[in-house]
Amino acid sequence: MCKVLAITNQKGGVGKTTTTINLGVALAKNDKKVLLIDLDAQANLTIGLGFDPDEIEYTIAKLIDLKIDNFNYNIDRDKFILSSEGVDIIPSDIRLSSTEIKIFNVINRESIIKNIITSLKNDYDYILIDCLPSLGTLNINALVAADSVIIPVQAQYFSIRGMEQLLQSIVNVRTQINSKLSVEGIIKKIIHEIYSNEISTFDTMINISTKIAEAQVRVKVYLRIILKVR
């Protein structure tokens, strides 16, 4: 049985993409077949796995467009699925930013991602969806498609508020569309202390390291220097 996990919080910068990549690669190293879906127009998951979204034609945005035109469209796996670090990925790009407008008036608009995933489930043990920081139609799509949700949270007011709003959305989706949806867990120590009696929280804590962010900035600076030299 394939398990579908949505990694989400409507607050940005809380570690959704980092969690998705590391969890996916860890599962792959334990001999699991894993597919990651980048559902964010910023395409950080795509970039994090070594791909340039500006150079990819067949992304989740294009796939959703094809599903809008034909809900029964059969996915061409060779075009839409890339591989890196032992996992498969359906990449994203900036075109996804206009997708919510396109699907607003589509019949079954909340089920487009579920429809895509259903056709791929037989090939994987786990499918992880890296969600955008929003509670819009695309995120509702992810919740409808998912078996459970992982919520990365930082010990900050806006992050925790985003989590509480997300929990209400989960209740709404569970009540109206996806009765099997559950919260797999919340990642953060302070949340464990506050919410552990009501919601599953993970024992493993993720420490914040400024060195990671500094490394990303330095790589960008070095690339600019190299490009100028060339």
Cα separation, 147 vs 5, in Å, equals 6
Radius of gyration of the chain (CA): 18
- Calculate the alpha carbon distances from 58 to 40, 66, 113 in Å: 15, 11, 16
pLDDT tens digits, residue range 121-132?
999 999 999 998
pLDDT of residue 134: 81
pLDDT of residue 204: 58
pLDDT tens digits, residue range 137-188?
999 999 999 999 998 876 666 666 767 778 888 889 999 989 899 888 776 6
Q: Count other C-beta atoms under 10 Å from residue 12's C-beta.
A: 16
Confidence of residue 222 (pLDDT cuts 50, 70, 90): very low
Of 140, 36, 34, 46, nearest to 92 by C-alpha is 46
Flag whether pLDDT at 206 surpasses 60. no
Contact between 150 and 5 (Cβ < 8 Å)? yes
Flag whether pLDDT at 223 surpasses 70. no
Contact between 46 and 21 (Cβ < 8 Å)? no
Eight-class DSSP state of 35: E
pLDDT tens digits, residue range 49-99?
999 999 999 999 999 999 999 988 999 999 999 999 999 999 999 999 998
In the sheet with 82-84, reading across from the earlier edge strand, the strands are 82-84, 87-90, 34-39, 126-131, 3-7, 148-152, 182-187
